[in-house]
Structure 1
Amino acid sequence: MRILVTGATGYVGRNVLPQLVSAGVDVRALTRDPARAKVPAGVDLVRGDLSRPDSLSEALEGVERMYLFPAPETAREVVARAVKAGVRRIVVLSSGAVTTGYDTDFHLPVERAVEESGLEWTHVRPGEFATNTLHMWAPSIRAESAVYDPHPDAVGVPTHERDVADIAALALLEDGHTGKAYTIVGPQPLTHAEQLEAIAAAVGRELSFKDVTAQEALAYYQALGGWAAANAPFLLGLVTYSNEETTPEAEHQYDKDTVEEHPTAESVTNRPGRTFAQWAQDHADDFR
């Protein structure tokens, strides 16, 4: 059996690969730049780009199952090519925002394209990724031992990307997951202050919050560019998921009892979900 992993160098995809290798299946990884990609021994690296479906012919050859990273603009054409190539099962990296109804134009179109293809499908819908703090906080922690966050009491339920990868790998390898959408969160709600404490313990030095407003924090993240700039308005509570303007107080939870409950990865894997403290230890060098 040959399995294709798209988004193979992403935080989830890179953790799916070794599980497939350990299972003894034929693993192929799609990447835009094979020369720079780091993958486990035995993985077949193939050049391709989901934004260019015509580049996927070699990658899809002989593939029976596929882990699909979301690319909504081309999802239907990518899935059509997968069907034509003989793919029988697709596991989609989706988002918990689909479950809550906030995501109607990014992950949801990918889910629908796969569902309407007639193939076996499973959607993995993580809530808040723990890696959000890496994108947002790591630059200022490395430079200033501080973070630009005006809401230390805001509550999240961050999920370790390895928990997401575990579910994706099981859905690729095992039967019994077809037609299911797994919405998962981390094992415990934590304030931003508690998350920063965990990172401080992992890196071995004191860290603090900058005394900033949401607009001042936004200006900092916009200057960083990239992922942080693109997602800061939502994460700071200045816009809703659908990009409507709001106030920070409207978008952030301050009471752990009001956080919406979803299962952890344990509901699928039968192993306890990884804590944020463990995630911080796993990524300590990224914050140093």
Structure 2
Amino acid sequence: MIIKSRVPVKYILREIWVTLSVVALIGIIADILHIYFADVVPDIPISIATTLGIAISILVSFKVNQSYDRWWEARKIWGAIVNDSRTLVLQLRMYLSDNNPLIKTMAYRQIAWCYSLGQSLRGQDPYENITGLISEEEFLSINEHKNVPLAILGLQVDSIKQLFDEGELDRFSRLQLEETVERLTASMGRCERIKNTVFPTTYRQGLHMAIYLFVIFLALSEPLQLSVVLEVLILVIISMVFFFLEKAAFRIQDPFENYPTDTPMTSISRTIDINIRQLLGETDLPKPIEPNDFYIM
């Protein structure tokens, strides 16, 4: 997640340098056509480029709004995960005796679940950061599952059933814990829905081509029959706004792809880790995730 109000220029240019290079090439070709083929190449009315520019502005605005909705939904889901993770540990402390070893076991499993879910959504190793949080036996059991976070929740359910069977939980306490696990499962499913639902690629391709078409019409219009350097500079500056907004929308539409615009799942998981350890009375706490330049993961 980008955490600074000013994004480095090098990051912006790195995102759109290819498209700006194409725009510069279009400007050079248009200038050559005006010089050597003035009788063949017609002057395009500036009103065509203006009308197309207005249409592109509307389309870009729509895409940015739709993409941000997906990103904001993902952020709200992880906010709910923070709340439910804390709630689970507080419920265990409330319903069980202080010396019950399953409080720490289930609390550590919840930390492992958060780390594993974030890694899975990014397509990375789901076992990273969970060493020491679950036992070797549990590690071997979840290793057989394709969906590691779901397997960890399965272990949580097994422990709740064990506590109920042993008389450590009454029906009400069991129901409350089951509802918390159910909310965590629902949050995981919502994240997977966002991850697996592809934003229509044809929309982005059509918008991308429309911006190039706008640049071509603008380059061939009579008001832009200037020196090649000035013409290219104007085209690059004008198109840069459209291309950057289009690229920004493309990045935030997928909040689990390990980009600087990602939902900061690793940072959120580390916060949950610290909070849960403090609830358990521990003092040896991991350090919060530090920002990487202008963003945090």
Please report the TM-score for the alignment, with normalisation by the length of structure 2. Answer: 0.25
Higher helix share: 2
Compare relative contact order (CA 8 Å, sep 6+) and give the higher one, 1 or 2.
Answer: 2
- Which structure is larger by alpha-carbon Rg, 1 or 2? 2
Higher strand share: 1
